[in-house]
Amino acid sequence: MSYFESRMKVNFKDLDDIRKKLKWSQDLGIRNVILEPKNYMSKIPLELKEKIMKFSSSNIYFRVNLRVENLNEFKKKIKNHNNFEDLLSIESLNKDVQIHAARDSRVDLISFSEPNILKSLTTGVLSLVKQNNSFIEFSLHPIFERNIHLQSKNFRILYRFLHMIRKSKVNYIISGNFSDLYDFRHPRGLISICHSLLDLPINESKQAFNEQPRKLLERRNIKD
Amino acid sequence: MIIEDNFIINKDDLLKSIWSSIWRYFGMKEANKIGLWLIDLNIEKNYGMLRCSHKTKETLITALCLVSDINNKRIILSTLKTSGTLKSLKKSVLTL
């Protein structure tokens, strides 16, 4: 069974960085990777995608993340993504943006990767995400925090909101979202963390790293 | 096993850091159930073989995953294969 690393931030202007990270993830045995440009790109050129796909034998997919501050910025940026062919995610602290993103069918994924953003998640957003059949994203990078106090705080925040999402039966994926090469972990290890430290049933943790990302990709294909 | 600067680790340091990870994240309640045993450590090929109780498999994988450094050298401990018996595990190790 092959699992997904659903968020790997790379610098699309530095092909060596991409090659290095893909080689590293291949050495770790990660077979499916979703790459995200570190700096915002409204569209990833096809030639660049083809070039990147040659770097590794893993299955490579692409996503673009819109990090927006307010509603006006969101409305302005989302216009560039009509008929978008890759995955589109939104990351924002602003609740209005989260609600609009949850209603917008162009948005595949609402990302709650940082603890402060995760704290802003409400049941209203979850309900809209469920109606629109889109996805919520969590990341496990905050639990690799060196500071033990911050780490336990991050565990608590993740635990709280993960179980809130489970209760509302919304589609969700869990990504690593690591930036340092030595923080990278195989999704199987992350599944164990979700199971034993975040009290997620093992089959549900596996789904968050396997079936759900596949569903997310299928959703985009159906839309196209 | 991926280690920074190809640093050579020994069995004692590896076990010590795995145990400290188990203690840090699970405490004594889980630590006494694990029955951890380092069967083999191949430094050349960068892999090791651990034995544990089957009920604590996920605990051990978590503890391994959360080990981030040994002797101030960054390290990634990742599971390659889990098996119910050492015999079949040794067979699959031969293919590495």
Q: How far is A183 from chain B (nearest CA, A)?
A: 7
Query: At residue A124, does pLDDT exceed 70?
Result: yes
Contacts of A195 in chain B (CB under 8 A): 58, 62
Strand pairing category for A87-91 and A109-112: parallel
Give contacts of A 62-101 with B, CB under 8 A. Answer: none
How far apart CA A157 and CA A154 sit, in angstroms, is 5
* Residue A115 or A84, more confident: A115
Of all residues in chain A, the one with the smallest CA distance to B25 is: A197
Query: At residue A56, does pLDDT exceed 60?
Result: yes
A174-195 b/e with 16+ CB inside 10 Å = b?
Answer: bbbbbeebbebbbbbbbbbbbb
* Confidence band, pLDDT 50/70/90 cuts, at residue A221: confident
Is B80 within 8 Å of A196 when comparing Cβ atoms?
no
pLDDT for A223: 44
Query: At residue A136, does pLDDT exceed 80?
Result: yes
pLDDT for A1: 62
* Confidence band, pLDDT 50/70/90 cuts, at residue A201: very high
How far apart CA A217 and CA A4 sit, in angstroms, is 11
pLDDT for A219: 84
* Residue A216 or A220, more confident: A216
Instruction: Please report, rounded to a whole number, the percentage of residues in chain A having pLDDT higher than 70.
Output: 98
pLDDT for B6: 78
Q: Span A187-206, mean pLDDT?
A: 95
Question: Rg of chain A's alpha carbons, rounded to an integer?
Answer: 16
Query: At residue A109, does pLDDT exceed 50?
Result: yes
Contacts of B68 in chain A (CB under 8 A): 144, 146, 182-183
Give contacts of A 189-208 with B, CB under 8 A. Answer: 189-190, 192-193, 195-197, 202
Among A4-8, A34-38, A39-43, A186-190, the range scoring the smallest mean pLDDT is A39-43
How far apart CA A60 and CA A19 sit, in angstroms, is 12
Task: Note whether A168 and A127 are within 8 A (CB).
Answer: yes
Instruction: Please report, rounded to a whole number, the percentage of residues in chain B having pLDDT higher than 90.
Output: 74
Q: Pick from A69, A24, A150, A194: which is nearest to B4 by CA?
A: A24
Q: Span B68-95, mean pLDDT?
A: 90
How far apart CA B61 and CA B41 sit, in angstroms, is 17
Q: Span A209-218, mean pLDDT?
A: 93
pLDDT for B4: 85
How far apart CA B11 and CA B21 sit, in angstroms, is 15
Q: Span B20-37, mean pLDDT?
A: 94
User: How high is the mean pLDDT of chain A?
Assistant: 92
Query: At residue A64, does pLDDT exceed 90?
Result: yes
Whole-model pTM? 0.93
* Confidence band, pLDDT 50/70/90 cuts, at residue A31: very high
A191: tokens are 């599944």
Angle, helices A71-78 vs A95-103, to 10°: value is 30
Contacts of A200 in chain B (CB under 8 A): none
What CATH code is assigned to B2-93? Answer: 3.30.70.3250
Of all residues in chain A, the one with the smallest CA distance to B76 is: A182
pLDDT for B92: 87
pLDDT for A2: 87
Q: Sketch the domain layout of chain B as residue ranges.
A: 2-93
Q: How wide is the angle at C-alpha A129 spanned by C-alphas A126 and A132, nearest 5°?
A: 150
Q: Span B77-90, mean pLDDT?
A: 92
- Asked if B58 has any chain A CB less than 8 Å from its own CB, the reply is yes
pLDDT for A224: 38
